[in-house]
């Protein structure tokens, strides 16, 4: 039994269940469903400036969002397709053996993950 100070964790499936249910319903009805609107106005007046600030925060730095350790090096010569300016963002380079070991570990975890939790994780990745 949970006390008032304890909170039962919510699975990623339960967290995203309404999105998954609406998508499935759209498939059955052969309709349209978009969980995340593509129009900037849908996200409020400040969304563009906030997004621009986040984007600028990534410039000139190592891209560390991949949550992988032991990068052998950091490389990158990417330019913005919009401004044609260099981004100066560097991406991690890994040894092939490390990537193979990570993929084997991920496979073992993924195959033990239920289809519902997989769906929740995939929605979460969006």
Q: Model's pTM, two decimal places?
A: 0.65
- Cα–Cα distance for residue pair 74/98, rounded to 1 Å: 15
Structural domain boundaries enclosing 84: 61-94
pLDDT mean values, one per 10 residues, the chain (126 residues): 52 94 96 90 91 94 86 93 93 93 93 94 92
Q: State residue 64's pLDDT score.
A: 87
Please check whether residue 66 lies inside any domain of the structure: yes
Q: 90 and 103 share a domain?
A: no
Please check whether residue 38 lies inside any domain of the structure: no
Beta bridge partners of 93: 73
Please check whether residue 20 lies inside any domain of the structure: no
Q: Which residues contact 14 (CB under 8 A, 6 or more apart)?
A: 120
Q: State residue 70's pLDDT score.
A: 84
Domain count, the chain: 2
Please check whether residue 111 lies inside any domain of the structure: yes
């Amino acid at each position: 039994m949970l006390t008032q100070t304890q909170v039962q964790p919510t699975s990623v499936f339960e967290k995203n269940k309404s999105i998954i249910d609406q998508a499935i319903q759209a498939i059955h009805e052969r309709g349209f469903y978009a969980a995340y609107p593509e129009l900037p106005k849908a996200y409020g007046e400040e969304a563009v400036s906030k997004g621009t600030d986040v984007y600028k925060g990534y410039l000139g730095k190592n891209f560390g969002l991949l949550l992988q350790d032991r990068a052998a090096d950091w490389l990158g010569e990417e330019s913005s397709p919009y401004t044609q300016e260099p981004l100066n963002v560097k991406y991690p380079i890994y040894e092939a053996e490390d990537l193979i070991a990570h993929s084997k570990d991920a496979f073992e975890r993924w195959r033990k993950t239920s289809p519902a939790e997989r769906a929740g994780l995939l929605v979460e990745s969006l």
